[in-house]
Amino acid sequence: VILPARNEAAAIGPLLAEISQRLPEAELIVVDDGSSDDTAAIATRHDARVISHPYPKGNGAAVKTGAREATGDILVFMDADGQHRPEDIPLLLAKLEEGYDMVVGARGMQDHAGAHRGFANAVFNRLASWMVNHRVEDLTSGFRAVRAERFRRFIYLLPNSFSYPTTCTMSFFRAGFSVAYVPVSMPPRV
């Protein structure tokens, strides 16, 4: 489980505790993206492996760092701000085991940060669906489970910014890999 984190001291401790409780065998990697708070220290106290960037490089850069360092065959990416619920991880993994290469936690319209963002994401989802000839339910969700070797094929394409989920999703579809969506609800960020 890879958590890119920048200044998430308020959320990271309880989140890591819940992940550890639900998935005690999981490797927990927190990529501290140049935080100026106690994110790294709190993550270390919760037995996560912490990799620190010396300065903020971006959410996508933190995801790539975590993917390069992880040892497992399956990578789960989730936000460190409390928006993604650890209880939904088994849903993603169960769907992945049905033969998919990537499973994305798809948000409902009510889970987007504001109506304007929900509308924009709906437009992007329709455009992406047209481009790949497959329904794209949530192009920008960062909550996903992927087969590590498949994900690493595209790591050089992924931007360092928040748009890495878009590039990842489109790359998987264009390469002919199987992508599925699981509906999840997302509480407000901490």
Q: What confidence score (pLDDT) does residue 108 get?
A: 72
According to DSSP, the residues that pair with 61 across neighbouring strands are: none
Q: What confidence score (pLDDT) does residue 166 get?
A: 87
Encoded tokens for 111: 């889970």
27 touches 51 (CB < 8 A): no
The more confidently predicted of residues 25 and 117 is: 25
Q: What is the pLDDT of residues 6-48, one digit of tens each?
A: 999 999 999 999 999 999 999 999 999 999 999 999 999 999 9
Quote the Cα angle for 22-26-27, to 5°.
140
Q: What confidence score (pLDDT) does residue 104 get?
A: 95
Quote the Cα angle for 182-108-80, to 5°.
75
d(CA 137, CA 55): 33
Sorting pLDDT into bands at 50, 70 and 90, what band is 123? low
d(CA 161, CA 179): 22
Please state, in angstroms and as integers, the Cα–Cα distance from residue 97 to each residue in 65, 113, 122, 190, following that order: 25, 31, 28, 31
Q: What is the pLDDT of residues 60-114, one digit of tens each?
A: 999 999 999 999 999 999 999 999 999 999 999 999 999 999 999 998 755 545 5
Q: What confidence score (pLDDT) does residue 74 get?
A: 98
Q: What confidence score (pLDDT) does residue 126 get?
A: 67
97 touches 175 (CB < 8 A): no
Q: Characterize the bridge pairing of strands 49-53 and 144-147.
A: unpaired
Contacts of 72 (CB under 8 A, 6+ apart): 26, 27, 148
Q: What confidence score (pLDDT) does residue 189 get?
A: 77
Whether the predicted pLDDT of 115 surpasses 80 = no
Encoded tokens for 114: 């504001």
Quote the Cα angle for 34-18-118, to 5°.
65
Q: What is the pLDDT of residues 146-182, one digit of tens each?
A: 999 999 999 999 999 878 998 998 899 899 999 999 9
